[in-house]
Each structure stands twice: as C-alpha cells, then as structure tokens.
Amino acid sequence: KKKSEKRIIDQERRAAARFVVLRWAAVAGILLILTARRSLWTRWVGAGYLREQPRRLVLINKEEKRAEKPTCAIRIAFCSVFHKRNRMQDPSSDSDSMFELASALPVLVHDLGTQQDNSQTQYSISKQALFCHTINELRDCRCFETPQGWVLAINRNSLKTFLWRPQDSKRIQLPPVEEDLPNHCKCVLSDKPTAPCCSVLVFDLDDTQMWVCQIGASKWDSFSYNLTMSDAHDNDRETHIAKCHGVAAVGGKVYYELTGYELGVMELDPAPSLGTINVDMVDWPRSMPMGSTYLIESCGELFLIIIFFDGDNVHKIAEFTVYKMDFSKPGWYRVNSIGDDRVFLLGGDRIGLSNFGASCPAAPENGLCGNTIYFLNHLAITENFLHVMDLEKGTEEVQRPFRDKGFDNDYREPLRPPFWLLPTEL
C-alpha cells in the first residue's frame, strides 16, 4: 500500500513538472511570436530598419527604357475615379446638397468603387455631417490626392494630366503621360505650385520607379532608383521611397523615412538626386509592438507623428507622439503642441502600401479647432474609425462617420479607406 501511494505521488509530481514546462514553453512561444510580429510590423509601417543602413542610392533616367505595360483598371486601390452623375441627396438631410464642397473642406471621401449614385460620400469634419457633391471636372479621371491639397488628375482616355484645386476648381495644366500609371501610386508636390521649380512627383508603390514633371515643363520624366538596404545579417534588400513610409516636402526637398539613424532626402535641381541626413529615429517602446508613422510639412517645418496601438489591437490607440525636426542639429524633438492655427490630417491606404499626412489651417471660417490631430484609421479598413485627438486637452474622441457603409450592412468592400480632400493655400 505504501509503494502504491508513493507511486501515485511520483506520478502527480511528474505531471505537475510537465505542466510547468509546457506552460513556460507556451509563454516563450508567445514571446517569440510577438517579437517576430513586431519586427515584421515595423517593416510594414516604416517605424524601423533600426539596424539597417543604405548601401546604394542611384537614380536612372528611364526616358529610353520604357517598358510596355498592360492597361490598368480604371478604379484602383490608391486612386479614386469620379463619375458624372446627377446631384445626389444628402444622406443626413432631405436637401439636395447641404454644403458646397468649398465650405465643407477638409472632407473625407468614401469611395465604394461602384456605379451606384451613392458610391461616393463626403464627410465634413468641421460640420460633422455627410453630404454628396458631384465633381464634374474630374469625371473619367484617375485622381491622386497630395498633402498640399492639390489633386493630380489623369484623363483615362487622352492621358492628359492637370492639377485640380478643390475649393475653386482651378486647374494647372500639365503635359500628358506617355502611358497610364501603375495601380498603386503616391503623389506629392515638391513645393507650392507657385514656387519656382515646383515639381509633381509620382511614386510607384510596387516598383522602384517614379515620374517627375516640373510645372511648366513639356513632358514627364521617368526614373528608376536603386535603394538597397543591408540588414543585421548583412543581407541586401531592395526598398522603396514611399511604400510603408511617410513622405513630405519642405522647401523644395522631399524627405522620407529611411533607417533608424538616417532620413532620406531628394533634391530636384531640376533632375532628382538622392541623399541622406544623419539623424537618429525616435525610440520605439517595446511594450507597443504595433504602430504607424507619418511625416508632415506644416508652415515650412517637418513633423513626425507616431500612432501606437494597444498591443496587437489596431482598433484602439494606446498613445500618440509628435516630434519636430530641428535641421540645425539635426534631430527629432518631442513637442506637445502643433499650433492653434492648424490641424493635422492622417490616413493612408491599406497595410503595406502608403501613409498620408497633411497640415490644414484652422480658422473660424472653416470651423476647425486648432492643435488637433484627425486620424482616419486606415489599418482597420472594415471600420474606418476617425480619431480626434486634442493636444491641448489631452483628449481623444472616436467618430465613425461611415458606419452605415461597412461590411455589416451588405456593402461591398471599398477599394481603399476614405481619403482626405483639403483646401490649398491661395
């Protein structure tokens, strides 16, 4: 009997020991998964490459190396095509159009990519109201928003291009492109269109190719760039300027996130050339493995915004930080205010494509409260939460203006998250 009791006790001890071993093995496995996910996520959203460095930065003019490409679909993930249709009814009222577009800017445009009359809806953040507005000037055009507010429009039939200003429909004519642009692109202006030598830049998000057209020029120039990174294991890897990274233009130069200790810079004089600025990237807390970064030009200054999510939950913001670049050092310095005369608008495309950041004036006439960040959570595409973060009060408000346009109401998946249209400086 004593031997039997001892055998039972030994079995219980071995079972307890196995349980402890399995429990710690599970914990170690979870930690390894989180570490791997953090590494992958920082690569996706442009937070890191903390131990990588650029090997080669080369620009090649592709004027004589144009390859034949198939015609792209009219509606694509990173551009919106405006169709001519009758004036639509305001979803939030019985009037035909509650607000004119100019008075409602800035707005979020929700495009479901359908031919239905309600396929596009705008949301005015100042009036907190939905409305629909027909933009006949942009029918049959592929349109790319820019942080400067101007919209690059490409006629899908003639391939003619022009810049369009939302508040008054003013146009700046540009030469036609020789072939349609790829499916996934990002557009930015190097300066204000009225500035000398201002150029329009379009980055291919799937390839290391870009198109540049100086305002007033007679043609678009095509370039390919070779930007190779070396990781911690000394393995070479090709990377992109605009994919996953924030891009902003300050004083005629285009800046983009590159490594943990370098900021990429492109100068146009008038041909583009690539370079770097030695500057340490801000610290990324290990307790917050997921986040997204945005570069913004505002009043001639360069800002970096980081949105940290609550662990793996991209639907909830845990913290956000704002940094300003001091080019005299150079270095990033954390700030608690962006100014009472402006707001920041953040958004972008799906994970792995692009981030969008812009600055917009805040004034009594447009009803915006300054020192505020509006973040359209493009990482949670099924919900499209709009986070309103007041830097002065330290508060966060969550709005869901397009809640009736989601999957739970039998609507088709949008081609892209809602995107920003904002006024330009006159």
Amino acid in position 367: G
Residue 229 CA neighbour count, 13 Å, CB half: 21
Residue 65 in domain: no
Give 236's pLDDT tier (boundaries 50, 70, 90): confident
Residue 173 in domain: yes
Please write the tens of the pLDDT for every residue from 80-128. Answer: 344 333 333 343 433 334 347 888 889 988 865 554 554 578 888 988 8
Give 56's pLDDT tier (boundaries 50, 70, 90): very low
Residue 110 pLDDT: 81
| Highest mean pLDDT pick, 16-30, 240-254, 262-276, 325-339 | 325-339
Q: Which single residue is written with the structure tokens 């330009």?
A: 424
Give 370's pLDDT tier (boundaries 50, 70, 90): very high
Residue 13 in domain: no
Lowest-confidence pick of 73-77, 271-275, 278-282: 73-77
Residue 245 in domain: yes
For 138-169, b where at least 16 C-beta lie within 10 A, e where not — what string? beebbbbbbbbbbbbbbbbeebebbbbbbbee
Residue 255 pLDDT: 96
Please write the tens of the pLDDT for every residue from 305-339. Answer: 999 998 888 888 999 999 999 999 999 999 999 99
The DSSP symbol for 210 reads E
- Arithmetic mean of pLDDT, 2-10: 61
User: Six-digit token pair at 297?
Assistant: 């030009």
Beta strands 342-348 and 355-361: pairing type?
antiparallel
| CA 61 to centroid of chain Cα atoms | 27
Residue 93 pLDDT: 38
Residue 249 pLDDT: 97
Torsion of Cα atoms, 122 then 125 then 129 then 133, to 10°: -30
Give 232's pLDDT tier (boundaries 50, 70, 90): low
Contact 191, 198 (CB under 8 A): yes
Q: Which single residue is written with the structure tokens 């909830």?
A: 316
For 147, the domain range is 93-421
CB count, 10 Å around CB of 198? 20
Residue 316 in domain: yes
Counting the structural domains of the chain, the total is 1
Residue 365 in domain: yes
260 versus 97: which is more confidently predicted?
Answer: 260
Lowest-confidence pick of 62-76, 208-222, 318-332, 368-382: 62-76
273 versus 48: which is more confidently predicted?
Answer: 273
* pTM of this structure: 0.78
pLDDT, averaged across the chain: 77
Residue 257 in domain: yes
Res 230 pLDDT > 80: no
- Arithmetic mean of pLDDT, 332-353: 88
- Return the CA Rg of the chain: 24
43 versus 129: which is more confidently predicted?
Answer: 129
Residue 59 pLDDT: 62
Q: Give the whole-angstrom CA distance, residue 303 versus residue 46.
A: 15
Residue 1 in domain: no
Count, residues in the chain? 426
- Arithmetic mean of pLDDT, 402-407: 64
Give 137's pLDDT tier (boundaries 50, 70, 90): confident
389 versus 18: which is more confidently predicted?
Answer: 389
Residue 414 pLDDT: 60
Beta-bridged to residue 187, according to DSSP, are 202
Q: Give the whole-angstrom CA distance, residue 200 versus residue 203.
A: 10
User: Six-digit token pair at 402?
Assistant: 């397009």
Beta-bridged to residue 171, according to DSSP, are 164
Lowest-confidence pick of 7-11, 24-28, 36-40, 320-324: 36-40
Here the CATH number for the domain that contains residue 161 is 2.120.10
User: Six-digit token pair at 270?
Assistant: 């008038």
- Arithmetic mean of pLDDT, 127-134: 80
What percent of the chain is helix, strand and coil (3-state, nearest 5)?
15, 40, 45
User: Six-digit token pair at 228?
Assistant: 């190779």
Residues 6+ apart with CB under 8 A from 67: none
- pLDDT exceeding 70 applies to what percent of the chain? 70
Q: Give the whole-angstrom CA distance, residue 308 versus residue 244.
A: 16
